[in-house]
Structure formats: structure tokens, C-alpha cells
Amino acid sequence: MIASVLPTYARAPVSFERGEGVRLFTDDGEAYLDMGAGIAVNALGHAHPHLVDALTEQAHKLWHTSNLYGIPGQERLARRLTETTFADTVFFCNSGAEALECAIKMARRYHWSRGEPGRYRVVTFEGAFHGRTLATIAAGGQEKYIEGFGPAVEGFDQVPFADVDAVRAAIGEETAGVLLEPIQGEGGIREVPHAVLRALRALCDELGVLLILDEVQTGVGRTGRLFAHEWAGVTPDIMAIAKAIGGGFPMGACLATETAASGMTAGSHGTTFGGNPLAMAVGNAVLDVVLEDGFLDRVRHMGTLFAQRLARLKDEHPAIVEEVRGQGLMLGLKCKVANTEVAGACLAENLLTVGAGDNVVRLLPPLIIDETEMAEAMDRLDRALSRLDAVHAPAPAIGDD
């Protein structure tokens, strides 16, 4: 008999009743240290007082009016995002996949509005993950997500990861844009070199196509800058964000320059729930904290400590950990044993992690994690890896004492 909840998830055998900071608690009070943060969603941890206050205050005033009317919270959040980024305009939606859908449609519409309706294709990278809608699984190009849902949405050309020459070769008269994540999350915490990002920016300018960034996972402070592309000193034409901007409340956004958004006229795109007053109250509250003086400096400091301690664990457990990857508080362990084994051993130590492609375990703690909590996480991870060392230790040779 099928489960009453559609069984599309391979869930861990645990559920939680409440959260506080970087910890989650089961209904019998057992505490877990959350190093996954809902896959980089709970950027400010669980039940952050400022977010709780903002959502509670808004809930007592107004939940929903639809986008048929003005929504002051949208206007405030859009103004703050445009003042702090490359963007001139923002469209609010409910998720990362919807933000990517908007970005893809915007790129096509830009060329259409300029008299080039044949430019609709988008170049993407191998290993990418852009969401679970029909268009975004086609953009990601991973067979495990496309299988059984064909025919795939047409219009995406995938090239090897971070290969600028391949991107140049793939761009033709039908190309509208190039879409990539500055750091692939689900793809295994694979960072696009900054020189490659700069080369792609120049290539897009040279060939008249749009540079579209997927910062759904890397955005809103995760790498120690407000957005990951800032490290490379380039700006996109269009950018999709979600996850952390809602701090746990479902929301996404598509940011763009005025030029890139020039085709998006009234009636060309829309949403029922996107940008409703509840989401906007939380989004503004998240920015209140992330934009505080020193917040991102602290994320960078904690990211450096985190990477150093993971490197030490890699040296201490060479049979289990092959490589430490990532930036800021978006790090990953490429494993020599199955990453599911490592995640399972961490769960046995009440440490929550997230699996990824390329046999990687992701570590994405709330950005508010402190040094004591990080030390505790490293102790738990060390015990988990030691447990696996014992399981995978080579058998002694015959004749050994």
C-alpha cells in the first residue's frame, strides 16, 4: 500500500518537534546538531527571535492580498536587494525552481523583445542542479532526475564543468544565455574558479548572450559574501535566489538588470503566492541580520576555522575522507567510502549532514554557529569518522601479530 505521503523521499528515521539556534530536538527531547540547515535554508538557525517577531507581527496584520495590489513589504525588500547588488529589479516567488523558471523565461523574453525570437537556448554545466520542475531538470541535465519524465524540455545545451572553450563552442545563433551555479551544491560542492567566472562574463558580453547565475544555495551570506559571485569581481545579468533569503519561510526571487528585464512587461509573468506579506516580513528580517555590520566578516572567520578543522580531520582519517571542498560555511567532504555511510555515521552521533553528488557529504551549518558549537560538531564528526575507520580498516596480513 502506498504511503499517505507520496514516497518520493528517502527519509532518515528521525523527526523533530522544535528547533533552537543550531539544534533540533525530537519529541522526546533528544538534541541533534544541525549542520545541514534544511539544505542551506535555515541561515539564521531555528526560531531566530528577530524572524519569529517579524512573522508573528505580520501574521496578526495581513497574510495575503495577491499581486493584484501593491505589497509594501515587497517594495521594501526589492529596494534593499537592488541597493546591495548588481540588480535593478526583483521578481518574488516561492522557491528556487520558480526563481530559475523566471530567469530562463526572462532570458528568452529579452531576446524576443529585441527582435531575436530564435534565441531561446541556454548553455548549462554538467553536474548542475537547478530545481525539480520540468524546465529546471532539463537545465540540470542529470539523468537521475530526468528519467521517466520525458520528453525533456527542449532548449538546454550542457557542456563539461567550468569549460570555457566548450561554452564558446556551444553558443550559437539560438543561444539566449549561460546558466551556472558559482559553487555546485547538489553537484558535490564544486567551485567554479573565479577566473572562469570572469572569462564567462567576458564571453557573454562578446557574443551578446546573458549571464545567469543560480545562487539559490550560495546566496545571502553562505560563502561569506552576500553573494558568491562577488568573490570573482563579476556581476550577472540575471540571478535566481531562494533558500536563505526566507530563513525557513518558502520564498525565492529573480534579480536582474534593467536591460535583462526589459522584455518582462505587465502580464508576461506572475505568481499567486509569491511575495506575499508573510514572506516579505521574513525576508526583510533576514536582511536586517545578514546586513548588520560584522555579520559577513564573522561568517568568513567561521568558514576559515571550519575548513582548517575539516582539513585536520581529513589528515586523521585518510581512509574515509579524500578531499575538503567549498568556501565559507558551504563545505563538503569528498568521501572514499559511500557518502551515505558517512552521513549515517554522523546521524548516529546526532549530527545532521546532507548528501551530494560526486560522493560528497555537505556541511551547511546555520551562519550563526559559534566556535563552541563548531568544536562540538567537529568532535561528533571525528567520532563518526573513527567509527568508519574501524569498519573499513584493512584486514591484517597473514602472519601479522
Q: How far is CA 106 from CA 99, 176, 177, 245, 263, in A?
A: 10, 10, 10, 21, 7
Residue 235 among known ligand-binding residues:
no
DSSP code of residue 191: E
Residue 88 among known ligand-binding residues:
no
Strand partners, 323: 334
Please state whether beta strands 252-256 and 238-241 pair in parallel, antiparallel, or not at all (unpaired): antiparallel
Residue 103 among known ligand-binding residues:
no
CA distance 216 to 151: 26
H or E stretch including 90? Answer: strand 89-93
Residue 326 among known ligand-binding residues:
no
CA distance 278 to 255: 20
CB 229 within 8 A of CB 182: yes
Residue 215 among known ligand-binding residues:
yes
CB 122 within 8 A of CB 157: yes
Residue 275 among known ligand-binding residues:
no
CA distance 347 to 327: 23
Q: Which residues of 78-105 are buried (b: 16+ CB within 10 A; e: fewer)?
A: bebbbeebbbebbbbbbbbbbbbbbbbb
Residue 25 among known ligand-binding residues:
no
Residue 174 among known ligand-binding residues:
no
Residue 97 among known ligand-binding residues:
yes
Cα separation of the two ends of the chain = 54
Residue 129 among known ligand-binding residues:
yes
Fill in the amino acid letter for 265: T
Return binding residues for N(2)-acetyl-L-ornithine.
132, 271
Return binding residues for pyridoxal 5'-phosphate.
96-97, 129, 214-217, 272
Return binding residues.
96-97, 129, 132, 214-217, 271-272
